[in-house]
Amino acid sequence: MILLLFLVPLLLLSILVISFMIARTPPLDKQKRRLAEGIGMFEDKRFEEAFLFFDNRIRNGEKCCMTYLYRGLCHAKKENLNSALYDLTTVLSYDNSVVEVYLERGKIYFSLGEMDKALREFERAFFYSHGKKADILRYRGLVLMEKGQYFQAARYLSKAVELGDEEANHLLMAPPFYNSLGFSKDPYNNF
């Protein structure tokens, strides 16, 4: 009888802890585990196989944030930019805080020469990444350079360098930020 008094509460406590741990696993992590095979293909640069994997999942009814995200990324790697934009936009209907979506959409708009749209996407990526991803800062700097806003571009590129982005450093070491003699231009007077 005494043993039952200890076992029943222990069993109930175990059930509560397990259900709490399951509920705390973010949905994106669950989706990533389910789609690990296709994500592995994408990371191994087997884009055609990865595309077929995610496309089959979507056609078979497994429509979720990660399936559309990775199918959209595969489209982008295959330079099917309109299809990539469609899939990446669909991701936002599932979860509008996925940084990779805004980053990739920004890259696509940048490659299409649509700088205002690209800047808007990079600003959203910056917001949702809390300013912690160097490549987002670099792309914001590139867009601002294209728009002729060199001082602001230099600020973002410098922040990207602080986060370890070597490509941003190379951009800062080239014109318009450095003159032909290698001296830094004064951003207050020259930009």
**Whole-number pLDDT of residue 18:** 64
Are 139 and 122 a contacting pair, CB within 8 Å?
Answer: yes
Mean pLDDT across the chain, nearest whole number?
86
Domains: count for the chain: 2
Based on the fold, state whether residues 101 and 142 are members of the same structural domain: yes
For tokens 């910056």, what's the residue? 126
Based on the fold, state whether residues 102 and 178 are members of the same structural domain: yes
Based on the fold, state whether residues 109 and 81 are members of the same structural domain: no
Based on the fold, state whether residues 102 and 176 are members of the same structural domain: yes
Mean pLDDT of 112-135: 95
Question: Which of the pair, 131 or 53, is modelled with greater confidence?
Answer: 53
103 CB burial (10 A radius; 0-12, 13-18, 19+): buried
Based on the fold, state whether residues 181 and 118 are members of the same structural domain: yes
The range of the structural domain enclosing residue 166 comes to 97-186
CA distance 145 to 125: 18
Mean pLDDT of 81-90: 96
**Whole-number pLDDT of residue 70:** 95
Which among 88, 110, 129 is the end of a domain?
88
Mean pLDDT of 122-151: 94
Question: Which of the pair, 191 or 74, is modelled with greater confidence?
Answer: 74
**Whole-number pLDDT of residue 174:** 86
Based on the fold, state whether residues 146 and 127 are members of the same structural domain: yes
Mean pLDDT of 42-56: 96
* pLDDT at residue 11 tops 90: no
* pLDDT at residue 185 tops 70: no
Question: Which of the pair, 169 or 184, is modelled with greater confidence?
Answer: 169
**Sorting pLDDT into bands at 50, 70 and 90, what band is 1?**
low
Based on the fold, state whether residues 117 and 166 are members of the same structural domain: yes
CA distance 161 to 163: 5
Based on the fold, state whether residues 81 and 118 are members of the same structural domain: no
Whether 118 maps to a domain, the answer reads: yes
**Sorting pLDDT into bands at 50, 70 and 90, what band is 184?**
low
Mean pLDDT of 72-91: 96
Based on the fold, state whether residues 72 and 111 are members of the same structural domain: no
pLDDT digits (tens, 9 = 90+) for 107-123: 999 999 999 999 999 99
CA distance 20 to 13: 10
Whether 22 maps to a domain, the answer reads: no
CA distance 62 to 129: 27
Left, alpha or beta for 75 (phi > 0: left; psi -120 to 50: alpha)? alpha
Question: Which of the pair, 189 or 21, is modelled with greater confidence?
Answer: 21
Which among 88, 123, 154 is the end of a domain?
88
> What is the token pair recorded at 151?
């001082």
Output the domain CATH number for residue 182: 1.25.40.10
Question: Which of the pair, 29 or 93, is modelled with greater confidence?
Answer: 93
> What is the token pair recorded at 85?
């934009």
Give, as one character, the DSSP assignment of residue 174. S
**Whole-number pLDDT of residue 190:** 45
pLDDT digits (tens, 9 = 90+) for 27-48: 667 888 888 999 999 999 999 9
